[in-house]
Chain A
Amino acid sequence: MEEKITWETIMVEALARAKSENKTVLLDFFNPN
């Protein structure tokens, strides 16, 4: 099965997950258009 990136969309949730998983955050500011 094809794997995809599972994006977080809430800053505080991403930071909490980064702390618990000892990872850094990739923050992508994107234009949907």
Chain B
Amino acid sequence: MGAVTYPDDRVVSFINENMVPLRIQYDAQPFAGDFNIKWTPTVITLDFEGNEHHRTIGFLAPEEFIPSLILGMAKVYFDADKFDHALASLGTILSDYPNSDSAPEAIYIKGVSLYKSTDDPQPLKEAYEKLRDEYPKSEWTKRAYPYRLL
């Protein structure tokens, strides 16, 4: 990450504009214990109270790292029931990074966000259908499988 991803101009711009970057050595206590760190790199998205909302382990290239960070931001909003903000972030993943590994999860969370904000189950079914058609091998397609019946 330090040699390839963090020096990338796109990554630098995204992080400086959208996040507060915090770097802690993997064995520094109490944080290594609090966050159960067993391997590096481990990258975690926190809200301003220090609560974890998203985690990745292992190297991610810039074209995967940026959508993963956006997904983390979306999950912070989702977990706070701020669905409009979550949907905006998820929409960015789907429009700008549709081929990233974060895209299928973004579709799933988008469907859930729309359902929770409207009480209409149709977006859950639409999420499954989109996952089935565009990401048939994704684990998120399997997780959405029951929604085909809605």
Contacts and interface: CB of A to CB of B under 8 A. Distances in A.
Given A25-B45, A29-B37, A11 B18 contact: no
Interface string A1-33: 001111111010011111101011111111110
Interface of B is mostly: mixed
A17 to B, nearest CB: 5
Interface of B: 1-2, 6-7, 9, 11-13, 15-16, 18-26, 31-32, 35, 37, 40-50, 53, 69, 72-73, 76
B44 to A, nearest CB: 4
B20 A26 contact: yes
Contacts of B24: 9, 11, 27-30
Contact of B41 (A5, A7, A19, A30): A30
A17 B73 CA distance: 16
A15 B16 contact: no
20 contacts: A4-B12, A5-B16, A7-B23, A11-B22, A11-B31, A11-B50, A14-B22, A15-B50, A18-B20, A23-B18, A23-B20, A26-B72, A27-B22, A28-B1, A28-B42, A29-B32, A29-B37, A29-B41, A30-B41, A31-B26
